[in-house]
Amino acid sequence: MDHFTRWSDEEFRIRFRLSKDTVVMLEQRFRNEIAPKTNRYT
């Protein structure tokens, strides 16, 4: 399920307590730290 397209910006913020912009910024900042060590499922 793609939560970015399923929920409006306001619904997303209410549901996850973060804005979509914040989630994108955090994902970009921590991408290397949270990425799996292998490419098994890609």
How does pLDDT run across 7-40, given as a tens digit for each residue? 999 999 999 999 999 999 999 999 988 888 777 7
Q: Indicate whether this model's pTM tops 0.75.
A: no
CA atoms of 12 and 8, how far apart (whole Å): 6
Q: Which residue has better confidence, 38 or 2?
A: 2
Contact 19, 12 (CB under 8 A): yes
Q: Has residue 42 got a pLDDT over 70?
A: no
Give residue limits of the domains in the chain: 3-34
